[in-house]
């Protein structure tokens, strides 16, 4: 796309945001501040609306996509989290926080799959001891939420807010 087309799309997006009743903002900086506050205060529904509005107004901001990924991870939406993190990486592939958080989301997905397979496998199934070993090994990973008996709700991936 040409630079002029990008600018036109950004202006149209910003204009649409200005007319949106859910997001009455004087400028993109105010929208960004409000999104940060809502995210930090764990006002997840509001933070999501603000971050999505921000992603439309400034689609090339990797931080917006990073925080949207964190929000989706925090609210147990791993597919959406991974998609948001991927968009952040497309804009800044050198952000270690994003790579870390994608890993966290994927480990948690693998954990859930192994637990489910273990629960379904019969004790005489050749897969059963393999699953037992995998789960036992994964429990040694220093990551919240990787325990057979949940102790607390899953924490969001680390690196949020840095």
Confidence of residue 50 (pLDDT cuts 50, 70, 90): very high
Res 147: pLDDT: 79
What span, in angstroms and rounded, lies between the C-alpha atoms of 66 and 79? 14
Confidence of residue 144 (pLDDT cuts 50, 70, 90): confident
What domain range is 144 assigned to? 61-162
Whether residue 80 sits in one domain with residue 17: no
The stretch 105-125 carries a mean pLDDT of 95
Whether residue 139 sits in one domain with residue 114: yes
Res 115: pLDDT: 94
Whether residue 141 sits in one domain with residue 111: yes
Res 158: pLDDT: 56
What span, in angstroms and rounded, lies between the C-alpha atoms of 43 and 37? 8
Whether residue 156 sits in one domain with residue 93: yes
What span, in angstroms and rounded, lies between the C-alpha atoms of 90 and 104? 19
CA 2 and chain centroid, separation: 30
- Give the Cα-Cα-Cα angle 45, 66, 115 (nearest 5 degrees): 80
Whether the per-residue pLDDT at 70 is higher than 80: the answer is yes
The stretch 26-51 carries a mean pLDDT of 93
The count of structural domains within the chain is 2
Res 83: pLDDT: 98
Torsion of CA 86, 88, 94, 100, to 10 degrees: -60
**Which CATH number characterizes residue 90's domain?**
1.25.40
Whether residue 94 sits in one domain with residue 155: yes
Whether the per-residue pLDDT at 151 is higher than 60: the answer is no
Res 26: pLDDT: 61
Res 46: pLDDT: 97
Whether residue 44 sits in one domain with residue 124: no
């Amino acid at each position: 796309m040409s630079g002029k087309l990008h600018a036109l799309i950004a202006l149209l997006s910003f204009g649409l945001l200005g007319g949106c009743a859910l997001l009455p903002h004087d400028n993109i900086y105010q929208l960004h501040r409000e999104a940060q506050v809502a995210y930090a205060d764990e006002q997840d529904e509001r933070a999501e609306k603000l971050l999505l509005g921000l992603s439309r107004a400034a689609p090339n901001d990797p931080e917006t996509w990073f925080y949207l990924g964190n929000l989706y991870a925090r609210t147990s939406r791993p597919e959406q989290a991974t998609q948001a993190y991927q968009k952040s990486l497309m804009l800044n592939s050198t952000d270690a926080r994003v790579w870390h958080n994608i890993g966290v989301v994927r480990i948690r997905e693998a954990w859930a799959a192994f637990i489910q397979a273990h629960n379904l496998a019969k004790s005489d199934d050749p897969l059963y001891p393999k699953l037992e070993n995998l789960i036992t090994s994964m429990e040694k990973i220093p990551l919240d939420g990787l325990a057979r008996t949940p102790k607390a709700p899953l924490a969001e991936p680390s690196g949020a807010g840095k």
